[in-house]
Amino acid sequence: MKNFLSIAALGALLVMAAPVLADVKTGVDAWQQGDYAKAIGEWRPLAQAGDPDAQFNLGQAYKLGRGVQPDLNAAMDWYRKAAAQGHLRAEDNLGLLMFQQGDRAGAMPYLQRASMRGEPRAQYIVGTALFNGDLIGKDWVRAYGLMTRASASGLEQASTSLEQMDKYIPLDQRKQGLALAASLETPGKGATLATADPAPVRPAPTAVRSAPLPQSTITKSAPAPAPQIAAALPKAAPKPAPRPAAAAPTPAASGGWRVQLGAFGEDGRARSLWNQLNGKVRGLSAYQLYLVKAGAVTRLQAGPLATSADAARLCSAIKAAGADCIPKKM
């Protein structure tokens, strides 16, 4: 049978932002300031003691390679521990990562539950499996319903697959699928979850389409075999391009203020970020680079600046280039 899509590598996974419990908040605050080593130090003992939010956050750190070396197996281990305690976001990430790593049969139970909770990438994968009759049997009504919901969430690959399904799934089954899509739970419901990598909450999917459905291209008298649609897990909707960076204010000859651009376990990573920002923030190279040691952490700072207002303006230019920045009184 002809494949309409190719199996592609799993993209970067977005994580829903949400409040965190008080005993992991110190680590989250450190993470948001770029002090990943401190965040790991806060979370690890809590995770080892069985805190599911800390376990999920460690899974995020190992997946992203921040504060630790990237290790997808370790990430899955921590996700699995958190998921076993009912951490729904950990279960979603575990299923997606298992699918990426090739354990599709093992991932499918997690992905099926995630799809019913409103995770659009899981809906896309499960809808594809149900259309093909792969691993979980064939059910074109559920396939169409899940793919409709994934498409309404903005996944372009789901919209493409839905167009292919229109050619093969009979009209009455597509109508049943639309009714199912309308009844599915939307994202945003469920437990409050911690996050190790704050990101915008997924937008609620738009209403499922109500325009008249096209007739399928097959006939009852001579049914054509349905094609296999390969599950190429889509990336989440791309982030908007950063706004053009503003010019940095003129540096002062001396002053009691600096700006801090992050904290790193290695000097090389701090210098690398500095070099990248020099190409994005006009005038930043005129400032002095400071690598401030604090134990095993190196803080990347720039200055000097005469006033807090100057530091705030410099941070504004740096943030416009897509980096973190906080003013620091010296």
Q: Quick one: pLDDT at residue 46?
A: 92
Residue 192 has pLDDT above 60, yes or no: no
Query: For the domain that residue 321 is a member of, what is the CATH number?
Result: 3.30.70.1070
List, in order, residues 6 or more apart from 104 with CB less than 8 Å away.
Answer: 98, 135
Least reliable range by pLDDT among 6-10, 80-84, 115-119, 177-181: 6-10
Residues 31 and 146 placed together within one structural domain of the fold: yes
Question: What is the Cα–Cα distance from 144 to 169, expressed in whole angstroms?
Answer: 8
Task: Evaluate whether residue 244 is within a structural domain.
Answer: no
Q: What is the mean pLDDT of residues 285-308?
A: 84
pLDDT at 253: 62
Stronger pLDDT, 4 or 266, i.e. the higher one: 266
Shared domain for 35 and 152, answered yes or no, is: yes
More confident residue, 318 or 80: 80
Kindly state whether residues 159 and 62 are assigned to the same domain: yes
Q: What is the mean pLDDT of residues 182-191?
A: 53
Q: So what's the pLDDT on residue 76? A: 94
Is residue 262 in a domain? yes
Q: Does any domain span residue 246?
A: no
For residue 207, pLDDT over 50 is answered with no
Is there a domain that residue 311 lies in?
Answer: yes
* Domain membership of residue 101 as a residue range: 1-238
**In 218-301, which residue ranges form alpha helices assigned H by DSSP?**
267-278
Q: Domain check: are 7 and 106 in the same one?
A: yes
What is the pLDDT averaged over residues 167-196? Answer: 69
pLDDT per position as a tens digit, 54-71? 999 999 999 999 999 999
Residue 24 has pLDDT above 50, yes or no: yes
Q: 10 Å Cβ neighbour count for 32?
A: 14
Q: Do 213 and 262 lie in a common domain?
A: no
Q: What mean pLDDT is predicted for residues 26-43?
A: 90
Q: d(Cα 75, Cα 47) in Å, to the nearest integer? A: 12
Position 14 pLDDT exceeds 70: no
**Residues pairing with 3 in the sheet:** 228
Mean pLDDT of 2-20: 35
Last residue of some domain: 206, 238, 270?
238
- In a shared domain, residues 322 and 266: yes
Q: Is 9 part of any domain?
A: yes
DSSP 144: H
- The answer to whether residue 36 sits within a structural domain is yes
Torsional class of 115: left (φ above 0), alpha (ψ -120 to 50), beta (otherwise):
alpha
Is 230 found in the same domain as 154?
yes
The DSSP code sequence of 59-102 is HHHHHHTSSS---HHHHHHHHHHHHHTT-HHHHHHHHHHHHHTT
Percent of the chain with pLDDT over 90: 33
- Of 214 and 199, more confident: 214
8 A C-beta contact, residue 249 and residue 259: no
The residue with greater pLDDT, 287 or 21, is 287
Residue 184 forms part of a structural domain: yes
292 and 169 inside one domain: no
In tens, the pLDDT along 119-175 reads 999 999 999 999 998 888 899 999 999 999 998 888 888 889 989 999 999 999 999
Decide which of 207, 238, 269 is a domain's last residue.
238
Domain end, chosen from 205, 238, 271, is at 238
Whether 250 is covered by a domain: the verdict is no
State yes or no: pLDDT of 26 exceeds 80: yes
Q: 170 to each of 70, 91, 177, how far by Cα in Å?
A: 46, 34, 11
Q: Does residue 16 share a domain with residue 121?
A: yes
Distance CA 138, CA 143 (A): 8
Return the structure tokens found at 170. Answer: 């009979």
Residues 225 and 266 in one domain: no
Which CATH number belongs to the domain containing residue 153 in this structure? 1.25.40.10
What was the pLDDT predicted at 234?
47
Mean pLDDT for the chain? Answer: 75
pLDDT value at 189 more than 80: no
293 with 146, same domain: the answer is no
Number of structural domains in the chain: 2
pLDDT attached to residue 226: 42
As a whole-number percent, the residues of the chain with pLDDT over 70 amount to 72
Do 201 and 295 reside in the same domain of the chain? no
Q: Six-digit token pair at 25? A: 């908040």
Q: Which residue did the predictor score with more confidence, 263 or 23?
A: 263
Give the span between the Cα atoms of 9 and 91, in whole angstroms. Answer: 20
